[in-house]
Structure 1
Amino acid sequence: MRTYQVDTVEKEEIKLVGFSITESLNNVLETKIVRTLREDLTNRMIEIENRKGPGVFLIQIYPHDGQWTPHVPFQHVVAFEVTSYGEIPTGMITHTVSPGQFIKIIHKGAESQIGTTYDFINKTYGVRPIDIEYWNDIHTLENQNGEIDIYIPTK
């Protein structure tokens, strides 16, 4: 049985600039669209004003009726954090994550194995309206010793 490092943390507002799509999990896995958006984003990172660093965020916003399944479309935001919004590059959007208390779970291992971590999260905390992944280095996502920070709101 896998064990997880779990902490409760306070997060300040997160301002993001990047791409947004609405797709089901099944379509995302089949088409690898989030991977494509992540690559496009990093190729255009120089266009993003006031970027905080090299890490990339994935914000997943689920339907508010709680009826989420892998077939139900939901919003995915792939973006860089910025200190403030400047001129937004063509085809990109802004998104703001409200401040608050979050449960932080660290997924250890390849990104392709992250489903087991989400199984743990959903069994332990239930399906939440939003979750946040933070990829410190997208080039190491398939490394067996890689880490992905996952944040879910406490309420």
Structure 2
Amino acid sequence: MKTYESEVMEKEEIKLVGFTITESLNHVLESKLVETLRRDLAKRIDEIKNRAGTGIYLNQIYPHDGEWTPDVPFEHVIAVEVSAFDHLPSGMISHTIAAGRYIRIIHQGPESQLGSTYEYINNTFGTRPIDLEYWQDINDLDSEESRIDIYIPAP
């Protein structure tokens, strides 16, 4: 059985600029919409002013009633961190992640195996309002050395 490294940490507010869609997990997996938007964001990254850092975030915002299944649509924000919202490129949105206490769980290995990490998170921590993934290098997501940091709100 795989073990996961996790820690509780304080995170400052994160300002993001990128794309958003509202779709079910099953539709996103079938259509590869997040992968497409991630590639589109990488192609247009130079249009985004005030970038902070080099990675890309995925913020998954679940329905507030907690009644979530893989067929229920929810919001996906694929974006990069910025220091200020001075300029929004055409077709992009601004989004803010609240400051607070988060649990960071590290997924080590190919992105295709991310489902097992989320199974661990769901079994260990239960339902939550958001997940926040951070991909340091989107060109390395298929390798065994790939690392995805997942942040969930701490109780």
TM-score, length-scaled by structure 1:
0.99
> Any unmatched runs of 5+ in structure 1?
none
Match of 1:55 in 2: 55
> Which string of whole-angstrom CA distances, capped at 9 and with x for unpartnered residues, describes residues 49-108 of structure 1?
100122000000000101100000000000000011111000000000000000000001
**Equivalent-residue separation in structure 2 for 1:54 and 1:97 (angstroms):** 17
Matched, 1:79 2:79: yes
Q: 2:37 matched to which residue of 1?
A: 37
- 1:145 paired residue number: 145
Give the residue type in structure 1 aligned to 2:95.
Answer: H
1:96-115 alignment runs, 5 A limit: 96-115=96-115
Percentage identity across paired residues of the two chains: 60
What is the CA-CA distance between 1:144 and the residue it aligns to?
A: 1.3
CA distance in 1, matches of 2:3, 2:145: 15
Distance 1:124 1:144 in 2: 24
The 3-state SS of whatever aligns with 1:51 is coil
Where do residues 95-134 of structure 1 align in structure 2 (5 Å cutoff)? 95-134=95-134
Give the deviation of 1:127 after TM superposition. 1.7
CA distance in 2, matches of 1:9, 1:53: 19
Give the TM-score normalised by structure 2: 0.99
Give the whole-Å Cα distance in 1 for the aligned partners of 2:99 and 2:54. Answer: 21
1:96 aligned partner, one-letter code? T
Q: How many pairs does the alignment contain? A: 155
For the residues of structure 2 that align with 1:79 and 1:95, how far apart are their CA atoms?
8
Q: Which runs of 4+ in 1 moved over 4 A?
A: none
Q: CA RMSD in A?
A: 0.6
1:13 aligns with 2:18: no
Give, as a single letter, the amino acid of the residue that structure 2 aligns with 1:90.
S
Q: Deviations along 1:14-34, whole A, 9 cap, x unmatched?
A: 000000000000000000000
